[in-house]
């Protein structure tokens, strides 16, 4: 038995299934969907530091330290801000989305000067760029000495 095809009939070869599908006249073949490779998981573990300096005459200085620690399959953080008229020691929860990590207050440690943030409040978000920079997006925790905009490279990872 001989198969006859109408003039203008094309065929699309499915590479994955190994069979041929006819295309109707005027229909264009679609390129295969791109293969999406998941981005590699970013390693956030370690210590990050942000230092604020006031004028030499004022003697103002604040050191912000974030220690991100793996506990089981989750990451937690300890955030310390110490210096000119500030001492906050906080245990924090984290949420990772893509190349960002959000830092949320869980509870305060000992010896704080005030407790300005509320539990579950987002303190800030860190983002790692493809170039390796760590960008900061301020939440409830903001710089103490100068007003710095969100999206700047303020924290640096300690080696």
Model confidence over 108-153: pLDDT tens digits?
Answer: 998 888 888 999 999 999 999 999 899 999 999 998 777 788 999 9
Mean pLDDT, range 9-35, rounded to an integer: 47
Nearest to 43 by CA among 106, 141, 132, 124: 132
- Is the predicted pLDDT of residue 73 greater than 70, yes or no? yes
Question: 45-49, 75-79, 89-93, 114-118: which has the minimum mean pLDDT?
Answer: 114-118
Two tokens at 19?
């069979």
Two tokens at 4?
């006859």
Nearest to 121 by CA among 96, 145, 152, 90: 90
Tell me what the pLDDT averaged over the chain comes to.
79
Question: 48-57, 58-67, 77-86, 127-136: which has the minimum mean pLDDT?
Answer: 48-57
User: To the nearest 10°, the Cα dihedral for 105, 109, 111, 113?
Assistant: 10
Task: Please state, in angstroms and rounded to a whole number, the distance separating the CA atoms of residues 73 and 125.
Answer: 20
Task: Please state, in angstroms and rounded to a whole number, the distance separating the CA atoms of residues 125 and 90.
Answer: 15
What is the model's pLDDT at position 104?
A: 96
What is the model's pLDDT at position 1?
A: 47
Task: Please state, in angstroms and rounded to a whole number, the distance separating the CA atoms of residues 122 and 146.
Answer: 20
């Amino acid at each position: 038995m001989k198969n006859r095809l109408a003039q203008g009939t094309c065929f699309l070869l499915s590479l994955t299934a190994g069979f041929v599908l006819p295309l109707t006249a005027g229909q264009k073949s679609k390129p295969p969907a791109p293969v999406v490779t998941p981005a590699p998981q970013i390693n956030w573990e370690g210590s990050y530091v942000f230092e604020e300096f006031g004028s030499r005459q004022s003697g103002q200085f604040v050191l912000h330290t974030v220690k991100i620690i793996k506990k089981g399959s989750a990451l937690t953080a300890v955030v310390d801000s110490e210096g000119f008229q500030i001492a906050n020691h906080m245990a924090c929860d984290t949420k990772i989305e893509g190349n960002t990590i959000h830092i949320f207050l869980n509870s305060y440690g000992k010896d704080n000067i005030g407790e300005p943030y509320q539990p579950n409040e987002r303190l800030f978000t860190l983002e790692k760029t493809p170039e390796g920079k760590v960008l900061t997006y301020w939440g409830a925790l903001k710089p103490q000495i100068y007003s710095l905009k969100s999206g700047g490279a303020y924290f640096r990872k300690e080696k």
